[in-house]
Amino acid sequence: MEFEFWWLLGIPVFFGLGWIAARVDINQLLSESRTLPRGYFKGLNFLLNEQPDKAIDAFIEIVKLDPETVDLHFALGNLFRRRGETERAIRVHQNLLARPDLPAEHKAHAQYELGQDYLKAGLLDRSEETFHLLNDTQYGAQAGRALLEIYQREKEWARAIKAAETLQAAGVGGRQKEIAQFYCELAEDELVHTHPDAAMALLEKALATDRKSVRATMLLGDVYLAKGDVEAALLAWRRVEHQSVPHAALVAQRLLDGYQAVGRMKEGLNLLRSYLAEASSIDLLEVVFKAVLELEGVEAANQLVSDELRRTPTLLGLDKFLEARMLNAPAEIRPELSVVKTLVHSYTQKLARYQCSHCGFKARQFYWHCPGCNHWETYPPRRTEELNVMN
């Protein structure tokens, strides 16, 4: 195809059209910006400069001058809530809801924000009532998650189960682990009130929901023990190894006590030794060490700890090693060993913690429900130093 010189005439035409379109967009942008109050830009500037107090003052002035600024109401309410001024946040969102001409979309948004205000203020009953009004709106899923949080705070586990099942049915993520944990909470309460049959029924539901629930399996063994059936309890506790070998450390003392009760402590010790060989654990070593010391003597206990320290060199293991060595150390070196043991032990107290894998919260005891972030099953059953060595 040959080039035609008259095509060049199209270039300035297209250039002109582009210039006109750009001018229209710029003029429209300038026109819209002129309609915004000056206080809006002042408030925005304060926010960008991390001066929330001055930003709030600027936005309040705008709202007074132009009550129809819905988006500014939302921004102002959120600022108040983040600063902990929940009463002011509540008033802002209540004022929005009081408008008769507020569109349904904005009304649902204001209702949700008001529920968050109540939740932040600790007014759980009001928050729950507000979130229930959002079931059939675009904020239904967020409201459902908030309701689940409320029921967990109030330890209303039966209602938490229903809320979690509703969210799961709506396709808002799997909730099997949480639901199983809620059943376990109810079962523990029944055990405390000596209702083993009711507890067993709840634990069966927990395992039907999440067959890998270690906590439900452990509690099932506790129920059998409460009913006087030690053999059934031992079978239940042994199932933990099939669910998670590292979690066997949590049930080790139960197993040892159970085998001792039926006169088969040696069998129980051999079982725990097999767990220790498969998954090293300072908590499990503690239980095995005491049993070996009782059944096989000081030399065997020393050898056990020495072998474990070689296999998994940790300060926690060294602490246990020094404890074992002091049992049969010559009298003349015991004072020196005691000093070293005290120094090592004081340092290992910082390492002998469980740590949440979600938020990093550390605790001396093992939790199924993290006190820091409120997530379930986020604590590995090993101490922090052991996890660092493994990684």
Q: Looking at the domain assignment, is residue 4 inside a domain? A: no
Q: Within this chain, do residues 224 and 202 fall inside the same structural domain, yes or no?
A: yes
Report the distance separating Cα 149 and Cα 165, nearest Å: 14
Bridge-partner residues for 376, per DSSP? 369
Specify the pLDDT at position 68: 54
- Asked if 87 and 117 sit in the same domain, the reply is yes
CA torsion, ordered 21, 22, 27, 30, to nearest 10 deg? 150
Contact 307, 273 (CB under 8 A): no
Question: Is residue 261 one of the residues assigned to a domain?
Answer: yes
Residue 19's contacts (CB-CB under 8 Å, 6 or more residues apart) are none
370 known ligand binder: yes
What pLDDT, on the 0 to 100 scale, is given for residue 5? 46
Indicate whether 97 belongs to any domain.
Answer: yes
Q: Is the domain of 156 the same as that of 115?
A: yes
Residue 8 within a domain: no
What pLDDT shows up at residue 60?
55
Alpha carbon dihedral 320, 322, 325, 329, in 10-degree steps, equals -150
Tell me what pLDDT residue 341 has: 82
The CATH number of the domain where 264 resides is what? 1.25.40
| Domain final position from 226, 243, 260 | 243
Predicted pLDDT at 13: 45
Listed as ranges, residues in the chain with pLDDT below 70 are 1-69, 388-391
How many structural domains comprise the chain?
3
Residue 266: what pLDDT?
95
Give me the pLDDT at residue 80, please: 80
CA angle 334, 339, 343 (to 5 degrees): 145
> Do you know the residue count of the chain?
391
User: Cα–Cα distances in Å, from 71 out to 87, 93, 96, 114?
Assistant: 19, 11, 10, 15
User: What phi and psi values does residue 363 have, to the nearest 5 degrees?
Assistant: -150, 150
Domain that residue 306 falls in: 252-333
Helix (H) / strand (E) containing 362: strand 362-363
- Residue 214 is encoded by which pair of tokens? 């270690």
With DSSP H G I counted as helix, E B as strand and the rest as coil, what are the percentages for the chain, rounded to 5?
Answer: 75, 0, 25
Q: Are 89 and 81 in contact (CB under 8 A)?
A: yes
Q: Is 373 annotated as a binding residue?
A: yes
Spell out the alpha helix ranges (H) of 83-213: 86-97, 104-121, 124-132, 140-153, 157-169, 176-192, 196-209
In the block, tokens 């109810």 appear at 186
Give the CATH number for residue 116.
Answer: 1.25.40.10
Is 184 marked as a binding-site residue? no
pLDDT tens digits for range 46-90: 544 556 566 556 555 554 444 456 777 787 788 788 888 899 888
